[in-house]
A and B are shown apart, each in its own frame.
Chain A
Amino acid sequence: MSINYDDKIPNNVDLTSDKTLQRALEHWQPEFINWWKDMGPEGSLNFDVYLRTAISVDPQGWAQFGHVKMPDYRWGIFLNPKEQNRKIHFGDHLGADVWQDVPGEHRANLRRIIVTQGDTEPASVEQQRHLGLTAPSLYDLRNLFQINVEEGRHLWAMVYLLHRYFGRDGREEAEALLERRSGDVDNPRILGAFNERTPDWLSLFMFTYFTDRDGKFQLNALAESSFDPLARTTKFMLTEEAHHMFVGESGVSRVVQRTCEVMNQLKTDDPEKLRAAGVIDLPTIQRYLNFHYSVTIDLFGADQSSNAATFYSSGLKGRFEENKRPDDHILKGQTYKVLEVHGDRLVEKEAPMLNALNEVLRDDYIRDSVAGIQRWNRVIEKAGVSQRLEVPHKAFHRQIGALAGVHVSPDGRVVSKDEWSARQREWLATPEDRAFVASLMGRVTERGKFANWIAPPAVSINRQPSDFEYVRFN
């Protein structure tokens, strides 16, 4: 079904046939717009931004480009088409029909999953709301805004599920999603990483590379869900999530490329000289990477979790690419290796796989992250520079699960508290690093121009010319 633009809320879920739901969402819509005006990108309400809007979920209607004011963006509700006779393909209900409604016994857990996912969407918009003031180019500013409006649409996607399937509880949860604030002491966002600041563009690129990739894996796991509307919603969200990871991967890559160019020009790898030349030295990039990577892998939760087992066995949340895994998809009696600290050593221990599913997803995530870092390294290699970037050990700087509170170096050695304190500044971005990066941030608004610390992109958006006016400030 194509999206009905005559409706107040564009949708492909036949909203007009359910008047109660339609009214509830039309009531929520102005509250959402108010939230956007208060907490969306700062000072941007009157900008014309070259944005991609979905007008249907098929490939042709997927990406319609044009300049729009962000408060007028057509946020709507789109689900991937329903697959006939879809069956539950993992857990205790394997082989049964998928659910078109919420089974009573899973109501609380499903609501919690949807609220937790939904909460991250407005949270990231809030975290990024000041970044527009320091965008390194119109191209980057446009990409930031595209991410922001799509996070807004992902919020809509979750709110639709809450309103449609969870009655009054769901409506209250939907209100609360607009009331919590990232970093607010009294009413913070649910997950820790979403209360951190995103103070500069290197942080944004790291966040979109690492933390939005967590989103990709969580959404992939939910796209396997036996609750069919959740599976179809998250499938469509994944298409949009890809753009966010693209901004991260290409963003870091362009920073690295620019740094290598200047290293070659000045024939130096001295961080001080490179900083004086206005680019971000590779060791600083590595410390940013260590921080964002470690904070993000905490988002997968404790390495052993009975909730994870329940979510899987009851069919609420599958594994990444569940269909492509050659096992029984029930996992009872199987084991998986998790890390523990014994004395001054990290050891692997077999744990029941069902309880270790957070760890399974985390390891899938790690493989995916590492591959992208190798692509950054190819940029460095191509420039003839010998340094390389790498992910720190999985146990480094962890706050959740068996590894919380243990001091582990990036190369995976358990270290004393003293060594940690002494060397932390080599491993994690310091306040001085952040102050230096912040000192480079300044808004570039001239068409086709880029800040000194970042290379231009290889490809423009929608094949526009390189000096295209992606944002008109009016």
Chain B
Amino acid sequence: MSAVPSNKFARQHVIDPEICIRCNTCEATCPINAITHDSRNYVVDFNVCNGCGACVPPCPTGAIDNWRDVARTSPFTLEEQLSWDTLPPAQPIPASAHDEIPAEVRELTQLASAGQGPATKAPHSAAEPCLNLYTPAKPVTATIAGNLSLTGEGASADVRHLVLDFGPASFPVLEGQTIGVVPPGVDASGKPHYVRLYSVASPRDGERSGHNNLALTVKRVTHDHHGNTVNGVGSNYLCALKVGDRVQVVGPYGATFLMPNHPGSSLMMICTGTGSAPMRAMTEYRRRRAAQADGGELLLFFGARLPQELPYFGPLMKLPKTFIDINLAFSRVANHPKRYVQDLIRERGDTVLRMLQDANCFVYVCGLKAMETGVLEAFRDVCRERGVDWESVNTALLAQHRLHIETY
């Protein structure tokens, strides 16, 4: 790798002049005199601020809690900030500014998206993602801000919701992107562990809106695909972390499995197990923007063995039906026939076909490799039963970059 990208960008602390009441509390609180003011604005000096956050809780307005990703060499100057009447919009960091993706990561993502056929592109209205800001040679340190179990009593698997806080470091992500975690230590052959990839489960403005954090959905791996006992290095490492522990993170990765942002765009989301992570991120992003009423339909097919193994089951059930159309399939409920997501897709065939043919609807599939074929077959059946040619629907889906598959 040619350069050290983590040094190129920084998170700049700024104050919202529309909300600030100029009470001087932040300036009085700052332990290193990074905050100053004139008769117009209170501003933070990029060259002094170390992002310690001491000024954040005493601020009576919340104006203090604003951050912008900037190129380290050209932050907002004091003079610029003093002239603001409003905060400038957040600018995405251009993808061209990033270094090459590590080969192992590229390999994994290619495998994961193989099911969609030829390489696709992001939806035309997706936000510009940041890529590969941090590399295995130069990872960023995140702090665990939360680690809780998502699975209920009697579940056969331990699925956990981890919250990683990036403190003063810039780590912008979009829904659908993945990050890499580098477990400490070395593997059996004495080499450092390779990077483990996890889908981000929180929206772009943070697990907690406006915070510099993100969430992951991690299933503790205790068996491999063939049922043999095996302790997954990455998942067991992550699941055992406690609040306050530090973890080395690389990425972000993923430039195509991204959500559309144009008004009226709809999402069809099909997932199993921890494949729900990007779906949760997208749904939550849309939920936070619900007041704008500019989103189209949300249709979710979600499969798990048992209700208690379905991550985010509780919060999901609280979402209004007018906001999201939820279809759940359980394959191991005693005395009930096994149901899979593809069964539900067939049952909801009319809606599914209408959305597959809608140029504003984008389809996301995430979960175990095994579901991929089943889902595509279900699509084909839905079309055939209604006298529609699946091949031409599929061609349009691919040509318009509306089908996104990530399976493992």
Contact yes or no, A239 B210, CB < 8 A:
no
Contact yes or no, B57 A246, CB < 8 A:
no
| A242 interface neighbour in B21, B210, B291, Cβ under 8 Å | B21
Q: How far is the CB of A463 from chain B (nearest CB, A)?
A: 6
Q: How far is the CB of A94 from chain B (nearest CB, A)?
A: 23
Please tell me if B100 contacts chain A, counting CB pairs below 8 Å. no
Contact yes or no, A63 B19, CB < 8 A:
no
Contact yes or no, A59 B58, CB < 8 A:
yes
Q: How far is the CB of B364 from chain A (nearest CB, A)?
A: 25
| A246 and B208 contact, Cβ closer than 8 Å, known pairs A59-B54, A371-B22, A372-B21 | no
Most buried by A among B29, B53, B62: B62
With both beta carbons as reference points, the residue of chain A lying nearest to B23 in the complex is identified as: A242
The A52-84 residues at the B interface (CB cut-off 8 A) are 59-60, 62-63
Contact yes or no, A463 B210, CB < 8 A:
yes
Please tell me if A250 contacts chain B, counting CB pairs below 8 Å. yes
Please tell me if A298 contacts chain B, counting CB pairs below 8 Å. no
| A242 and B85 contact, Cβ closer than 8 Å, known pairs A59-B54, A459-B62, A463-B210 | no
Q: How many residues of A contact B (CB 8 A)?
A: 25
CB-CB under 8 A from A463, the residues of chain B are 62, 65, 208-211
CB-CB under 8 A from A246, the residues of chain B are 21, 23, 60-61
Contact yes or no, B25 A239, CB < 8 A:
yes
| A60 interface neighbour in B18, B21, B57, Cβ under 8 Å | B57
Q: How many residues of B contact A (CB 8 A)?
A: 28
Please tell me if B55 contacts chain A, counting CB pairs below 8 Å. yes
Contact yes or no, A63 B57, CB < 8 A:
yes
Please tell me if A329 contacts chain B, counting CB pairs below 8 Å. no
A63 to B58, CA, bound (A): 7
Q: How far is the CB of B36 from chain A (nearest CB, A)?
A: 12
A466 to B62, CA, bound (A): 14
CB-CB under 8 A from B28, the residues of chain A are 238-239
Most buried by B among A62, A239, A242, A372: A242
A6 to B325, CA, bound (A): 51
Q: How far is the CB of A248 from chain B (nearest CB, A)?
A: 9
Contact with A along B207-218 (1 / 0, CB 8 A): 011110000000
Please tell me if B39 contacts chain A, counting CB pairs below 8 Å. yes
The A229-264 residues at the B interface (CB cut-off 8 A) are 238-239, 241-243, 245-246, 249-250
Contact with B along A423-445 (1 / 0, CB 8 A): 00000000000000000000000
With both beta carbons as reference points, the residue of chain A lying nearest to B39 in the complex is identified as: A371
The A451-467 residues at the B interface (CB cut-off 8 A) are 458-460, 463, 466
Contact yes or no, B23 A59, CB < 8 A:
no
| A62 and B57 contact, Cβ closer than 8 Å, known pairs A245-B23, A371-B22, A458-B18 | yes
Q: How far is the CB of B15 from chain A (nearest CB, A)?
A: 12
A250 to B16, CA, bound (A): 13
Q: How far is the CB of B49 from chain A (nearest CB, A)?
A: 14
The B37-78 residues at the A interface (CB cut-off 8 A) are 39-40, 53-58, 60-63, 65
CB-CB under 8 A from A368, the residues of chain B are 22
Please tell me if A378 contacts chain B, counting CB pairs below 8 Å. yes
Contact yes or no, B58 A239, CB < 8 A:
yes
| B19 interface neighbour in A242, A371, A459, Cβ under 8 Å | A459
| A59 interface neighbour in B29, B39, B208, B210, Cβ under 8 Å | B29
Contact yes or no, B208 A458, CB < 8 A:
no
CB-CB under 8 A from B211, the residues of chain A are 463
With both beta carbons as reference points, the residue of chain A lying nearest to B52 in the complex is identified as: A59
With both beta carbons as reference points, the residue of chain B lying nearest to A321 in the complex is identified as: B24
CB-CB under 8 A from A216, the residues of chain B are 23
Most buried by A among B24, B63, B211: B24
With both beta carbons as reference points, the residue of chain B lying nearest to A216 in the complex is identified as: B23
Contact with B along A335-352 (1 / 0, CB 8 A): 000000000000000000
Q: How far is the CB of B318 from chain A (nearest CB, A)?
A: 12
With both beta carbons as reference points, the residue of chain A lying nearest to B17 in the complex is identified as: A375
Contact with A along B193-234 (1 / 0, CB 8 A): 000000000000000111100000000000000000000000
A378 to B86, CA, bound (A): 10
A216 to B22, CA, bound (A): 12
With both beta carbons as reference points, the residue of chain B lying nearest to A240 in the complex is identified as: B60
Contact yes or no, B54 A60, CB < 8 A:
yes
CB-CB under 8 A from A238, the residues of chain B are 25, 28
CB-CB under 8 A from A63, the residues of chain B are 57-58
CB-CB under 8 A from B85, the residues of chain A are 378
Contact yes or no, B22 A250, CB < 8 A:
no
Contact yes or no, B58 A62, CB < 8 A:
yes
Most buried by A among B22, B23, B29, B211: B23
With both beta carbons as reference points, the residue of chain B lying nearest to A60 in the complex is identified as: B57
With both beta carbons as reference points, the residue of chain B lying nearest to A248 in the complex is identified as: B21
Q: How far is the CB of A466 from chain B (nearest CB, A)?
A: 8
A466 to B209, CA, bound (A): 12
A368 to B63, CA, bound (A): 18
A62 to B24, CA, bound (A): 16
A62 to B64, CA, bound (A): 15
Contact with B along A187-229 (1 / 0, CB 8 A): 0000000000000000000000000000010000000000000
Q: How far is the CB of B222 from chain A (nearest CB, A)?
A: 36
Contact yes or no, B57 A59, CB < 8 A:
yes
With both beta carbons as reference points, the residue of chain A lying nearest to B53 in the complex is identified as: A59
A399 to B65, CA, bound (A): 42
With both beta carbons as reference points, the residue of chain B lying nearest to A223 in the complex is identified as: B28
A246 to B60, CA, bound (A): 7
Q: How far is the CB of A263 from chain B (nearest CB, A)?
A: 20
Q: How far is the CB of B168 from chain A (nearest CB, A)?
A: 15
The A359-387 residues at the B interface (CB cut-off 8 A) are 367-368, 371-372, 375, 378
Contact yes or no, B22 A243, CB < 8 A:
no
CB-CB under 8 A from B18, the residues of chain A are 375, 378, 458
Most buried by B among A62, A241, A372: A62
CB-CB under 8 A from A466, the residues of chain B are 291
With both beta carbons as reference points, the residue of chain B lying nearest to A374 in the complex is identified as: B40
With both beta carbons as reference points, the residue of chain B lying nearest to A372 in the complex is identified as: B21
| A242 and B54 contact, Cβ closer than 8 Å, known pairs A250-B21, A372-B22 | no
Q: How far is the CB of A470 from chain B (nearest CB, A)?
A: 15
CB-CB under 8 A from A459, the residues of chain B are 19, 61-63
| B60 interface neighbour in A59, A243, A371, A378, Cβ under 8 Å | A243
CB-CB under 8 A from A250, the residues of chain B are 19, 21, 61
A239 to B211, CA, bound (A): 23
Contact yes or no, B21 A249, CB < 8 A:
yes
A63 to B29, CA, bound (A): 13
A62 to B54, CA, bound (A): 10
| A458 interface neighbour in B19, B57, B210, Cβ under 8 Å | B19
A250 to B23, CA, bound (A): 13
Contact yes or no, A242 B209, CB < 8 A:
no
Contact yes or no, A242 B57, CB < 8 A:
no
Contact with A along B5-32 (1 / 0, CB 8 A): 0000000000000110111110011000
A-B contact pairs, 10 of them (CB 8 A): A59-B54, A59-B56, A239-B29, A246-B21, A246-B23, A250-B19, A372-B21, A378-B18, A459-B19, A463-B65
Q: Which 8 A-B pairs have the closest CB atoms?
A: A242-B23, A459-B62, A59-B54, A243-B60, A63-B57, A246-B60, A242-B60, A249-B21
Report which A residues bind B (CB closer than 8 A).
59-60, 62-63, 216, 238-239, 241-243, 245-246, 249-250, 367-368, 371-372, 375, 378, 458-460, 463, 466
Report which B residues bind A (CB closer than 8 A).
18-19, 21-25, 28-29, 39-40, 53-58, 60-63, 65, 85, 208-211, 291
Given contacts A242-B24, A371-B39, 11 further A-B contacts (CB under 8 A): A59-B54, A59-B55, A59-B58, A60-B57, A63-B57, A238-B28, A245-B21, A246-B23, A371-B40, A372-B21, A459-B63
